[in-house]
A = this chain, B = another copy of it.
Amino acid sequence: MHKKMLVTVAAVALSTTLFAQTKPEDTEVWEPVPAVVTPGKINTDAPSDAIVLFDGKTLDQWVSVKDPSQPAAWKVSGGILTVDKNTGNIQTKRSFTNYQLHIEWRVPKNITGTGQGRGNSGLFLASTGPGDDGYELQVLDNYNNKTYVNGQAGSIYKQTAPLVNANKKPGEWQTYDVIWTAPKFNSDGSVQSPARVTVLFNGVLVQNNVALQGPTKYIGKASYEKPHGACPIKLQAHGDKSEPLSFRNIWIREL
């Protein structure tokens, strides 16, 4: 582009670029109109467009991981869902791609054990197979309980440590608010864009739009073994010797 006479420039500007968007109305957009959603009375309550995954009464939205044709057999009582290690992991009937998720969990007040053996469970943000396959947001009591930092509560297990340790005391209810973006794959199976996750732990940011390197592995580094589409969300039944932990108020909004 070249330097013209300023007088020409001014004329051009006035006649095209400038006048093309002189009016404030020129940058108003009127549609599509965002859908109306009634938010919860408090922010932890489910908004009107959420799918309620656990409302304190039934496990209708969940099945057994071992045998998805069977109902989830964890204990529901007093509005609370408690892990049953004998019946194993449970997962949602539905599969999800991108979403906003809210879940609350509580470690028993009288929890014992140390390291990974103290209130251990896990929230698999996308269950890519049976057992412990998937992207695991760690659930653990790390209030004054030390473990490896990429294995503490708020971590994506064995992959990314949380920004801070925002654990509450055992016996108190804690919250995870998750924004999940599923990975995309090319036709040859290679990764087009990785999974991304943002996590608020008790209202405190612990994962900030982190790109994941693949589903969680217990041994070895995470990698994308194979392409996947929408997946169930899974809760882990662990083998602590002490009392099991509990969940409540689980809801999800598809994005």
* Contact partners of A179 in chain B: CB under 8 A: 198, 205, 208-209
Residue from B9, B159, B164 in contact with A37 in the complex, judged by beta carbons closer than 8 Å: B164
Do A191 and B209 touch (CB < 8 A)?
no
A128 CB-CB contact with B under 8 Å: no
**A23-B122 Cα distance, complex, nearest whole Å:** 21
Do B162 and A34 touch (CB < 8 A)?
yes
Residue from B32, B175, B224 in contact with A187 in the complex, judged by beta carbons closer than 8 Å: B32
**A34-B18 Cα distance, complex, nearest whole Å:** 32
Do A39 and B219 touch (CB < 8 A)?
no
**A143-B129 Cα distance, complex, nearest whole Å:** 39
* Contact partners of A17 in chain B: CB under 8 A: 217, 219-220
Contact with B along A36-53 (1 / 0, CB 8 A): 111110111101010000
Do B21 and A225 touch (CB < 8 A)?
yes
A interface: dominant SS:
loop
Do B253 and A36 touch (CB < 8 A)?
no
Copies of this chain per assembly: 4
Contact with B along A19-41 (1 / 0, CB 8 A): 01111101111111111111110
Measured CB to CB, the nearest residue on chain B to A30 is B148
Do B203 and A165 touch (CB < 8 A)?
no
Q: What 8 pairs across the A-B complex have the smallest Cβ distances?
A: A43-B203, A223-B223, A39-B202, A28-B148, A221-B223, A2-B120, A37-B164, A3-B116
A-to-B contact residues, CB < 8 Å = 1-4, 6, 9-10, 12-13, 16-18, 20-24, 26-40, 42-45, 47, 49, 100, 102, 115-117, 120, 122, 131-132, 136, 138, 148-152, 154, 157-166, 168, 175, 177, 179, 181, 186-191, 193-194, 196, 198, 200-206, 208-211, 213-214, 216-225, 236, 238-240, 253, 255
